Structure 1
Amino acid sequence: MISRVEHDGRPIVAILTMHDTEHTFRGNRQNFQEIIKAGKDMGFMVYVVTVRDLKLNSPTVKGYFLNQDQSWEQRTCPLPQVIYNRIPYREDEALPWVRRKIKEVQRHPRIDIYNPHFFNKRQLFAWLSQSKLTKKWAPLTKRMKGFSTLAVMIRQKPYLYLKPEEGKAGQGIMRVRYQKHKSLPYRIQIQNDKNSTTYKAASLERLWNRVHQETKGSSYLIQQGIELAQVHGRSFDLRILVQKNESAQWAVTGVGARMAGVKSITTHVPRGGSIEDPEKLLPVVFGQERTDAILSEVRKAAVHIARQIEKSSGQVHGEMSMDLGIDSEGVLWFFEANSRPMKFDEPLIRKKSLERIFHYSDYLIKQQR
């Protein structure tokens, strides 16, 4: 017998994920625990619900509550007022019945959902190019349609990145360089788990054979490579969290830095990168005064980019994380945005991020009234 939770007047937020035959539901449980604790401390009722158990035509749903001993218990809960979408994988979200359910939620008169969909990398750059303001931060990016795209791009930019359109955490990224004075002028560096492997080729056709072998028919983007600022020979970029605040305005929650591993071509921590403090890294390269100006521009750019993405997507979003790079000249570049940010490890950013989830939820619930 599943116990029933009565609605005691508190605002209700449900964390949406997928069911799992082995573990009842999918997702980062520690993250869910921290979200639930933060919500509870702020006066919210919070539980986890799977897409399968979310029955919108019923006044109640079966949700997972967190007990005092950190165990999970399924109970009958009142229908949520806000759904915080944390479906973890693109392939889950792409399932027709999951997409139908999200559409149903979006049409529901008494429920708000934020972060309805994952972003597609190619679409992000198309959206940014629709605004003169945000266009300047986007590197030249094209869809890779075959050998000809690579040939055209490498003539324009001798340093390129190849990125999977639906990639995650740096998987499948490759770096290509053309150095005409070398005997084997074409080089491709392929990202492995924490290292990378470099192949050299005499001709672009030879290089393309390798690219074709690696991409195996997946959709890829070709992007202008940016010579990022470096400290001790390791490049770094900035990871920014933007969220809507209590008045539904985009605001920067925090700025972190990620430094590439010694043999890695990306700054992702699972691939050997490290978490750094931008306030300490940037002055080493640019000095303190220039650092202050750069960080001020980063914060303004992140808010403009978030607004532009939301406007162009036609969907309501509550948060996104972004990767922005600073090149060796101090110029700002946009690389990536995620509609379902991974948790930030910096304690102050993490604390504020959890509070903002519920500040914005509170705003949505008040609008419903």
Structure 2
Amino acid sequence: MSSIICRVHPLPPGKQGGWLSQSLMREWGCQQGQSIKIRIGGKSLITRILGGRHRGRNILLPRPLAAQLHLPWFGETRAVFRNKELHLGPVLGILTTGFTGSPSMPFGSRSALFRQFLIASREDRPFFYVFTPEMVDWTRQVVYGWFYRKDLSGTYRWVRKLAPLPDVVYERVPNRKAEAQTQVQGCRLLFQQMGVPIFNQGFFNKWMVHEALYNHPLTPDCIPEAHRSPSIQTVEDMLERHRMVYLKPSGGSLGLGIFRITRGPQGDYYCRFRNGDRNVLRKFRSLPPLMTQIFGRQLNGLSRYLVQQGIRLIKHEGRAVDFRVHMHKDRSARWTVAGIGAKVAGAGSVTTHGRTGGSLLSTSELLKKTFPGKEADMENRIKETSIRICNALEGHVKGPLGELGLDIGVDYQQKVWLFEANSKPGRHIFLHPSLWDAGKQSAHYITDYSLKLAKF
């Protein structure tokens, strides 16, 4: 049985138990005076229900009973009735770190990101808050969560309210350092022990992604060759085969610490990398001095890198282009493409990241210019490949996945390649005017998938 939107009212003083409108009594097959369990998030109690004369889908609860359940507020929310249990909500929580104490920006610059998710959820009426591990009172089984709601003047503001533990947790810890905190690890463990679904736990390791996909039957043709902790000879062999390779930190992100090495027609070696706010190109006669220039004589740090086959990507005005494909699971738990952003590398840059001078373009316009007459087919191939990648990858990660950011490349032979997969994808592609509506839908998919996990 799927959930429906109901209105929860306070019961007038002096009346006991829970009251349902006649239409809900009939719809759910409830009997007058029947004992049921009412649950909101991690809180529940047993009470008798009675049928009232109210029309529509209305639920009336005594204020003391609502207080026991830590109902965040009266009003509209979703409800599902099964096995003599009335489940209201659901209660959804975004787990993060970095609380600032500011009432207007409680999570600093990321408050705007979380606000998008909470605003997008309104039409589905869940109880949706943002919280850090320190905001959980495990003894009382409640959370001092931050909601984004209208105040008495009609202005939307961040509001801190006491609420039940969530039915579902969407993890949005900002970085690996924060993820390693004892409080975060302990919080996740306790939720797991309670059976609370947590989706998008942790960060991906590039080598784990490569190992999961390189020989997977769903993705045999879109994963570049790569080797972990390479020796100089391994890099040399890769250059012999591909003429261009990338050295990437296995656990890196945001394009930091990446080197592109190219072997020229005269046997020289060229290395591009980012140094501070500059894109740098250096030339070497042979590979060993290049490698010692980067990693030192002892090649310290190379063990934390992987070498990846370089792909000759399509270009826009002489600059390489790749695509960020933002993927979500919908309410049926099927992977769908929320948006595709075309990213153009900055002048002399190793990557297409904005911080290194990269910029966004319309995907449809770029594909039309690059593959005239075949642009629709090319876009469909990017989408189809992305869905295959997501289906292959989710069997190799801990816990459910509901969102992924894929860095996809296309070469001039129209072959589609995966470079990286991100479990905490940024949303910068939705800043492009062609993707504004897609950005709103993307934010709503978080609620969609949460409803699926909560069995609503």
Q: Considering the TM-score relative to the shorter chain, is it more than 0.5?
A: yes
Match of 2:317 in 1: 232
CA contact (8 A) 2:321 2:344 kept: yes
Q: CA RMSD in A?
A: 2.4
Give, in whole Å, the separation in 2 of the partners of 1:243 and 1:187. Answer: 39
Match of 2:144 in 1: 62
Aligned pairs for 1:321-340 within 5 A: 321-340=405-424
| Match of residue 313, structure 1, among 385, 388, 397 | 397
CA contact (8 A) 2:72 2:127 kept: no
Match of 2:170 in 1: 84
CA contact (8 A) 2:255 2:351 kept: yes
Match of 1:13 in 2: 92
Letter in 1 for 2:289: R
CA contact (8 A) 1:5 1:75 kept: no
Q: 3-state DSSP class of the match of 2:401?
A: coil
CA contact (8 A) 2:198 2:399 kept: no
Runs (4+) off by over 6 Å: none
Q: 3-state DSSP class of the match of 2:135?
A: coil
Offset of residue 55 of structure 1 = 4.0
Letter in 2 for 1:202: R
Match of 1:174 in 2: 259
1:182-240, Cα deviation, whole Å (9 max, x unpaired): 5xx01111124554101111121111112214985261111111000012101111111
Match of 1:263 in 2: 348
Which sits farther off after the overlay, 270-279 or 191-200? 191-200
Give, in whole Å, the separation in 2 of the partners of 1:19 and 1:286. Answer: 45
* Residue 106 of structure 2 is aligned to residue 30 of structure 1: no
- Number of corresponding residues: 361
* Residue 191 of structure 2 is aligned to residue 105 of structure 1: yes
Give, in whole Å, the separation in 1 of the partners of 2:319 and 2:445. Answer: 33
Match of 1:199 in 2: 282
Match of 1:51 in 2: 133
CA contact (8 A) 1:195 1:263 kept: no
For the structure 1 residues 57 and 364, does the alpha-carbon distance in structure 2 shift closer, same or farther, using more than 3 Å as the test?
A: farther
Letter in 2 for 1:323: D
* Residue 249 of structure 2 is aligned to residue 164 of structure 1: yes
Offset of residue 94 of structure 1 = 2.2
Offset of residue 95 of structure 1 = 2.9
Offset of residue 30 of structure 1 = 0.6
Match of 1:93 in 2: 179
Give, in whole Å, the separation in 2 of the partners of 1:196 and 1:262. Answer: 8
Letter in 1 for 2:400: V
* Residue 305 of structure 2 is aligned to residue 220 of structure 1: yes
Q: 3-state DSSP class of the match of 1:52?
A: helix
Letter in 2 for 1:15: I
Give, in whole Å, the separation in 2 of the partners of 1:66 and 1:292. Answer: 40
1:57-84, Cα deviation, whole Å (9 max, x unpaired): 5331111233545553432222111111
Q: 3-state DSSP class of the match of 2:136?
A: coil
* TM-score, scaled to structure 1: 0.90
Give, in whole Å, the separation in 1 of the partners of 2:99 and 2:377. Answer: 47
Structure of higher CA gyration radius? 2
* TM-score, scaled to structure 2: 0.74
Offset of residue 25 of structure 1 = 4.0
- Give 1 or 2: higher strand fraction: 2
Give, in whole Å, the separation in 2 of the partners of 1:98 and 1:321. Answer: 23
Letter in 1 for 2:331: E
Of the two structures, which has the highest relative contact order with CA contacts closer than 8 Å and spacing of 6 or more? 1
Match of 1:292 in 2: 376
| Match of residue 74, structure 1, among 160, 178, 197 | 160
Letter in 2 for 1:191: R
Match of 2:210 in 1: 125
Give, in whole Å, the separation in 2 of the partners of 1:130 and 1:102. Answer: 31
* Residue 251 of structure 2 is aligned to residue 251 of structure 1: no
